[in-house]
Amino acid sequence: MSVEQWLDAIKSGPPPGAASDWTIDQNFEGYSEAEHRLWTKLYERQAELLPGRACDAFMHGLEALDLHGAGIPDFARVNEKLMALTGWQIVAVPGLVPDAVFFTHLASRRFPAGNFIRRPEELDYLEEPDVFHDVFGHVPMLTDPVFADYIQAYGKGGLRALKLGHLQNLARLYWYTVEFGLLATLQGLRIYGAGIVSSYAESIFALESDSPNRLGFDLERVMRTPYRIDDFQEVYFVIPSLEFLLDQTTSTDFAPLYARLEGLSDIPIEAIESNDKVFSRGTQDYACAGGRRHSA
């Protein structure tokens, strides 16, 4: 099903078998051996690649939740550990859910995770989040108490943004942090964004390519920056610490920020502004060459 079809389906309410909050049973027994083997293949590829690339919080989370490569995890078993660590739990959903439903879950420390896994021919790219993107990509970071607080604050902020009509600004914050964020460490830049860490090619591209810009995170700047959903990012934003991100979300009064944003134009994705903190100035060669659409 394409994202467009999903978005249409979303308007018509929860799919058959789903509760009013769009949650479903994971149906752990329903996975085929081939699906478990696909998870293991994806897991082992990332487990080999990520040491030295993913941040410590992610690597510790992977270890703490025992998300080893022995097939798709049973959410109930993961939740026993996750709940004990930060009070978060995974809830199974059939795919993308309406924004208000998504934010309500996050605000209650429930992470909606697709229960389906991609097809083998979608190994490196799929449109909507599957169980590998959600559970391998997002869930390990939820074992970090600071990040766990940030995602809950994001959920609460999302509900407010919906009411204020500023969802797009907040979606950009999510995109450039939770999905594609980089963290500055004494050893160099490290990945914490789920969209990167669950992708083999982007785990390399985000840190090593000279094509994208890598800029210091600034809340207003990020909220003015559109993003692309179908290819590697042309810009990555770097935070100095996870505490910084939580502080930005909990210490900012978003209403005046949204009011200020009303009068400000978007910043083109590949642009570098005069007051940007530049970690690396990209060549944009990848994007100019047409990106994934032209990559082998």
Positions that interact with ligand HBI (CB under 6 A): 93, 96-97, 99, 102, 112, 129, 171, 174
The one of ligand HBI, Fe ion, none whose footprint includes residue 102, by CB under 5 to 8 A per kind, is: ligand HBI
Six-digit token string for 268: 């083109």
Q: Which of residues 142-161 bind Fe ion (CB under 5 A)?
A: none
In the complex with ligand HBI, the residue whose CB is nearer, 99 or 276, is: 99
The one of ligand HBI, Fe ion, none whose footprint includes residue 112, by CB under 5 to 8 A per kind, is: ligand HBI
The one of Fe ion, ligand HBI, none whose footprint includes residue 192, by CB under 5 to 8 A per kind, is: none
Determine contact, residues 212/282, Cβ cutoff 8 Å: yes
Least separation, in Å, of the C-beta of 198 and ligand HBI?
12
Total of chain residues touching Fe ion, rule CB under 5 A = 2
Least separation, in Å, of the C-beta of 4 and Fe ion?
18
One-letter-per-residue 3-state SS of the chain: CCHHHHHHHHHCCCCCCCCCCCCCCCCHHHCCHHHHHHHHHHHHHHHHHCCCCECHHHHHHHHHCCCCCCCCCCHHHHHHHHHHHHCCEEEEECCCCCHHHHHHHHHCCEEEEECCCCCHHHCCCCCCCCHHHHHHHHHHHHHCHHHHHHHHHHHHHHHHHHHHCCHHHHHHHHHHHHHCCEEEECCEEEECCHHHHCCHHHHHHHHHCCCCEEEECCHHHHHCCCCCCCCCCCEEEEECCHHHHHHHHHHCCHHHHHHHHHCCCCCCCCCCCCCCCEEECCCCHHHHCCHHHCCC
Least separation, in Å, of the C-beta of 112 and Fe ion?
10
The one of ligand HBI, Fe ion, none whose footprint includes residue 140, by CB under 5 to 8 A per kind, is: none
Going by their DSSP bridges, the two strands 213-216 and 278-280 should be labelled as antiparallel
In the complex with ligand HBI, the residue whose CB is nearer, 47 or 167, is: 167
Least separation, in Å, of the C-beta of 114 and ligand HBI?
6
The one of Fe ion, ligand HBI, none whose footprint includes residue 93, by CB under 5 to 8 A per kind, is: ligand HBI
Least separation, in Å, of the C-beta of 191 and ligand HBI?
18
Mark 196-235 with x for binding to Fe ion (rule: CB under 5 A) and - for no binding: ----------------------------------------
In the complex with ligand HBI, the residue whose CB is nearer, 93 or 139, is: 93
Binding segment for Fe ion among 70-78, 89-97, 122-130, 286-294 (CB under 5 A)? 122-130
> Using CB under 5 A as the criterion, which residues of the chain lie in contact with Fe ion when the complex forms?
129, 194
